[in-house]
Amino acid sequence: MRIPLTTLVCAAALVCSAHAYNGQPICSGQTDVVVHLFEWKWADVASECSALAQLGYCAVQVSPPQEHAVLPDPSGGEPPYPWWQRYQPVSYALDSRSGSHQEFVNMVETCNDVGVYIYVDAVIQHMTGGQSGYGSSGSFYDGATEDYPGVPFSANDFHKQQPDECTTSSGDIENYGDAQQVRFCRLVGLRDLRTGADYVREKVVGFLNSMVDIGVAGFRVDACKHTLPEDLEHFYTNMHDLPTRWFPAGSRPYVFQEVIYVGGDEPIRPEHYTHIGRVTEFRYSANIGNIFRGWDGQQLSYLENYGEGWGFMDGMDAVVFIDNHDNQRGHGPGGDSVLTYKDDRLYKMATAFELAWPYGQPRVMSSFAFDNTEAGPPSDGNGNTYDVECFNGEWVCEHRWRQIENMVGFHNAALGTGMSHWRTISDNAIAFGREGRAFIVINNEGHEVSADFETGMPDGEYCDVISCDGPTPPCNSCGSVTVSGGNAHITVPNDSDPVVAIHV
């Protein structure tokens, strides 16, 4: 595995096209782990960044910051103020239910100052659905007439039902096997921007640069399979360099792109986008749920070549995750196999594997609790989001679970090394190391597993980071592992945390 670079630098000895690739993660130090603080307010993100820095997180993915639709009574009978109203832009003003423009600026500056960077979820492919109303910053909009004076956009700025654009009778995507429909028709009725038009490009680039200039280090770009790669490349190429207040001169914003693909005959695939940035690897999430659940004949021993060996994209192109804000709700691929915080035992095991395994850039989910899959974040009757209070029954904060936050340190200690010392103990119990930097045993059998292991680790005593607060002794009453001659006897119980993990 190659070590991710913090910036893209075209040295004199290399031939580079100007700003053609934006897929190098922007991180401070030896880390590349992203946490998605889904629907957190900017003030709460700012307050969390100091702790995230101590834990070793690279960056925070934040929810879309632009002005969005406000839906107290959605037409489909969903609960008021659903989570997805954030994905219906009204204008590019940085004023959302997460906070004001100034609160956004304060968050970016606070987090950058402690070396935790902000990756914005950028919704630049579409605007709202067909309804009309007022956005989170007070701007009027009319989706039926495609009128968005807050930008401004008007009807000419959207794809139309015509032979060279959208060819369906409904104006919506009807067949995902037809690439033209996917890229020129509406996604579930959302007004589809004409991203190849100069004026639209100018507005989108201006929106992205307004955030880059504040200090945003990168973007998760929403719904990329619905946009031509050349349009996205135009946006990325025309972004400003990152501010030298926090980043080396010439540093480029990082981009990772949502391209949903889990195999089959769909004509639009992740590899169509990897030349301009990283891409979310949905096959990773969909398959790992089956493996840890033991569905479809899957078992942990099959993880030995997880990644490219399973037909996934190159690890240097991939962003990987156990779940995301869509598929934890049953939206998107994976279905019931997707592991979420509701499957806490399996979820902790799978996340331990994600952070231990040398494939892709890992992203950790941090959710709010939900029963209704359309429900928005914890809020009052007017849709005002409550302050985050982890573990209060409303904010789940998986990234703060000991078994997950400590594995960030494991990941960082092993970053840049390959897998070593693989051991298949049984069908559903495995162990592997990271070239003398770290070692993990995962037990998904129905009983305790105990064995002698060749770890490759330096001799000494190590604290198990799954059961302990840190990696170094004294371990007190939590688990410890003694390595002698590179070998260790390790027992992994069949309890709520059936993993043992150690690192230097």
420-426 and 59-62 beta bridge pairing: unpaired
Structure tokens belonging to residue 390:
């982890």
- In single-letter form, the type of residue at position 491 comes to T
Catalytic residue among 39, 192, 231, 258: 258
For 3, 132, 268, 320, the CA distances from 283, given in Å and listed in that order, are 23, 37, 15, 9
Q: Which one is catalytic: 222, 281, 326, 497?
A: 222
In one-letter notation, the amino acid at residue 231 is D
CB neighbourhood size of 295 (10 A): 11
| Cβ contact 288:350 at 8 Å | yes
Residues 9 and 250 sit within 8 Å (Cβ to Cβ): yes
Does 448 qualify as catalytic in the annotation?
no
Pairing assessment for the beta strands 140-142 and 117-122 based on DSSP bridges = unpaired
**Length of the chain counted residue by residue:** 504
Q: Specify whether the CB–CB gap between 447 and 439 falls below 8 A.
A: no
User: Under a CB-based contact definition with an 8 Å cutoff, are residues 339 and 286 in contact?
Assistant: no
Indicate the Cα dihedral angle 272, 66, 135, 331, nearest 10°. Answer: 40
Q: How far apart are CA 127 and CA 143, in angstroms?
A: 8
Q: How many CA atoms are closer than 13 Å to the CA of 156, on its beta-carbon side?
A: 4
- What lies within 8 Å, CB to CB, of 143 at 6+ separation is 127, 128, 129, 130, 131, 132, 191
Known catalytic residue at 222:
yes
Best CA proximity match to 176, nearest among 129, 222, 229, 225 = 225
- Phi/psi of residue 59, each to 5°? -155, 160
* Active site residues per annotation: 222, 258
